[in-house]
């Protein structure tokens, strides 16, 4: 993986104001499949500092770079800048430090507080093996009796409340590691051919998990709540604060 694209947990610190500072210039239109959250995309790119110094290029290596949008494995400026592109499209991304490598810089090559310029060409898009839901879709699934699994940690459930009727199974610990008992607990609750909805705080953890469940455990009807419980609450939807003792232990 391209070392300068590894995120420095900046996504957790990003604000709406920061996001508005990203500049996107379409250099060439594309008419192929659109890159959406959860898609696996293949790109060619070149990156420069504002003084014109080129610090990396997949074109120079002759090796396209692949990533899954929404998985949080690249800097936030890339996540936002690539989403919505179509195959064949070329974009120039001007990424401010807040959406790049911030005050730390990276690898001794990208200095602290650097604004970065990338030229990115979208070569291929592979649709995610799961489906996305907005709040309306979540409400419709709940009305049909589809199971909703909240994969957050217990302290997060207590902080915000949970969607009423959801099943509470912690998937990742505070360091992002899979909780050892999660796969068995999930498989005991949900059959492989049964529809299931996953929800977390903002949809990023569940997008990663939905991909893994579909590709590694052959779950066929996995749905991810795109903006998580954060948007659910922001839109005035009800939550329950009745968290059973011992919930999340598996």
Q: Which residues are catalytic?
A: 45, 55-56, 75, 101, 118
C-alpha dihedral sign at 133, 207, 188, 244: negative
d(CA 192, CA 245): 28
Pairing outcome for strands 196-199 and 90-95: unpaired
| Cβ(14)–Cβ(98) below 8 Å | yes
SS (H, E, C) 153-222: CHHHHHHHCECCCCEECCCECCCCCECCCHHHHHHHHCCCCCCEEEECCCCHHHHHHHHHHHHHCCCCCE
Residue appearing with tokens 């050892």:
180
Residue of 137, 128, 244 lying closest to 199 (CA atoms): 137
**Partners of 44 in beta bridges:** 121
Collapse the DSSP code of 26 into the 3-class scheme (helix H, G, I; strand E, B; otherwise coil) and give the result: strand
d(CA 184, CA 19): 38
E runs forming strands in the chain:
23-28, 40-49, 54-57, 65-68, 90-95, 116-126, 131-133, 147-150, 167-168, 196-199, 222-225
Which helix (H) or strand (E) is 114 found in, with range? Answer: none
| Cβ(28)–Cβ(130) below 8 Å | no
């Amino acid at each position: 993986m391209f070392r300068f694209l590894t995120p420095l947990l900046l996504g957790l610190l990003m604000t709406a104001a920061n996001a508005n500072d990203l500049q996107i210039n379409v250099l060439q239109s594309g008419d192929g499949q659109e890159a959406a959250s959860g898609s696996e995309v293949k790109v060619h790119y070149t990156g420069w500092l504002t003084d014109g110094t080129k610090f990396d290029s997949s074109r120079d290596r002759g090796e396209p770079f692949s990533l899954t949008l929404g998985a949080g494995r690249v800097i936030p400026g890339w996540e936002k800048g690539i989403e919505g592109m179509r195959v064949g499209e070329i974009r120039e991304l001007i990424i401010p430090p807040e959406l790049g490598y911030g005050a730390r810089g990276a690898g001794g090559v990208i200095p602290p507080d650097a604004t970065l310029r990338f030229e990115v060409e979208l070569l291929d898009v592979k649709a995610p093996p799961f489906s996305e839901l907005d709040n309306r879709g979540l409400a419709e699934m709940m009305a049909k009796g589809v199971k909703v699994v909240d994969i957050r940690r217990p302290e997060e459930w207590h902080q915000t409340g949970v969607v009423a009727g959801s099943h509470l199974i912690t998937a990742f610990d505070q360091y992002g590691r899979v909780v050892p008992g999660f796969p068995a607990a999930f498989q005991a609750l949900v059959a492989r051919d049964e529809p299931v909805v996953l929800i977390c705080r903002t949809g990023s953890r569940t997008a990663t998990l939905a991909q893994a469940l579909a590709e590694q455990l052959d779950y066929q009807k996995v749905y991810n709540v795109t903006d998580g419980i954060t948007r659910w609450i922001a839109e005035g939807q009800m939550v329950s604060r009745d968290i059973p003792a011992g919930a999340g232990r598996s």
